[in-house]
């Protein structure tokens, strides 16, 4: 993590909190993407929110992936600037995001072999079905971002026997979305599309962007094994 002085860290935290709140307040996809384009160059400052989700996702996947990490192909959906991939020790990454400038920042890191622009749900994932050993979506499954329906596309993108890892933040504004997500996860399991590998809840997910001070929200990580034989 970049080293900040205490005063600079406090100022950066307040700035990031304001930006996140502004992004969530946008109700139209193009408005959100415009905000992300504006934020892209400084997006990695989100770490000042003590944002643990990328590290938790990486640990969860690494603990359950039984194949060869160097040979695995990972699809990072809503990849942003690549915070999750910095934590994963895999060999081949493909990133998808709706923000062109976020993708440009991700490209600078040299982590991805391919990057594709796509507005989730509004456009189909620009990938071949059954192509990825691991599919990840971290941070985008919330009421103010991506519809629950996208997880079926994640399942189709994954190889049979591959892993799909998803996150969902908690909080009063996300209660109904979280319930809908978990219903869809269960329904897809009943349909035989995937099986649940692990559900992990973390109390200290990130600092709240709504409450003053060091108030944390919690979050969940859902890991499934793909059973879909496309």
pLDDT over threshold 70, residue 162: yes
Q: pLDDT tier at 213 (50, 70, 90 boundaries)?
A: low
Burial class (CB in 10 A: 0-12, 13-18, 19+), 71: exposed
| Cα 70 to Cα 56: distance, rounded to the nearest angstrom | 20
pLDDT digits (tens, 9 = 90+) for 81-117: 998 887 788 889 999 999 999 999 999 999 899 999 9
* pLDDT of amino acid 5: 40
| Cα 78 to Cα 84: distance, rounded to the nearest angstrom | 10
Of 164, 167, 94, nearest in space to 135 by CA = 164
The ranges assigned to domains in the chain are 49-226
pLDDT over threshold 50, residue 10: no
pLDDT over threshold 70, residue 11: no
Q: pLDDT tier at 26 (50, 70, 90 boundaries)?
A: low
pLDDT over threshold 80, residue 196: yes
pLDDT over threshold 70, residue 44: yes
pLDDT digits (tens, 9 = 90+) for 76-87: 999 999 988 877
pLDDT over threshold 80, residue 7: no
* pLDDT of amino acid 134: 97
Mean pLDDT of 158-180: 94
Mean pLDDT of 61-88: 90
Q: Output the average pLDDT for the chain.
A: 87
Q: What CATH architecture applies to the domain 49-226?
A: 3-Layer(aba) Sandwich (3.40)
> Which residues, in sequence order, are bridge partners of residue 92?
73
| Cα 220 to Cα 115: distance, rounded to the nearest angstrom | 27
* pLDDT of amino acid 8: 35
């Amino acid at each position: 993590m970049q080293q900040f002085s205490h005063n600079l860290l406090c100022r950066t935290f307040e700035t990031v909190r304001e930006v996140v709140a502004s992004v969530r307040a946008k109700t139209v996809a193009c408005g959100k993407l415009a905000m992300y384009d504006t934020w892209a160059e400084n997006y990695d400052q989100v770490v000042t929110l003590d944002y643990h989700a990328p590290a938790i996702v990486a640990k969860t996947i690494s603990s359950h992936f039984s194949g060869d990490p160097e040979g695995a192909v990972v699809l990072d959906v809503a990849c942003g600037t690549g915070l999750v991939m910095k934590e994963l020790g895999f060999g081949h990454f493909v990133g998808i995001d709706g923000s062109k400038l976020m993708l440009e920042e991700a490209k600078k890191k040299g982590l991805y072999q391919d990057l594709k622009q796509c507005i989730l749900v509004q456009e189909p994932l620009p990938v071949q079905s059954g192509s990825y050993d691991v599919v990840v979506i971290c941070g985008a499954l919330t009421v103010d971002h991506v519809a629950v329906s996208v997880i079926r596309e994640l399942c189709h993108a994954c190889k049979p026997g591959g892993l799909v890892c998803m996150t969902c933040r908690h909080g009063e504004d996300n209660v109904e979305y979280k319930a809908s997500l978990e219903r869809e996860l269960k329904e897809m399991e009943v349909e035989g599309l995937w099986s649940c590998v692990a559900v992990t809840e973390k109390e200290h997910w990130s600092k709240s962007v709504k409450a003053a001070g060091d108030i944390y929200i919690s979050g969940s990580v859902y890991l499934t094994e793909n059973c879909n034989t496309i």
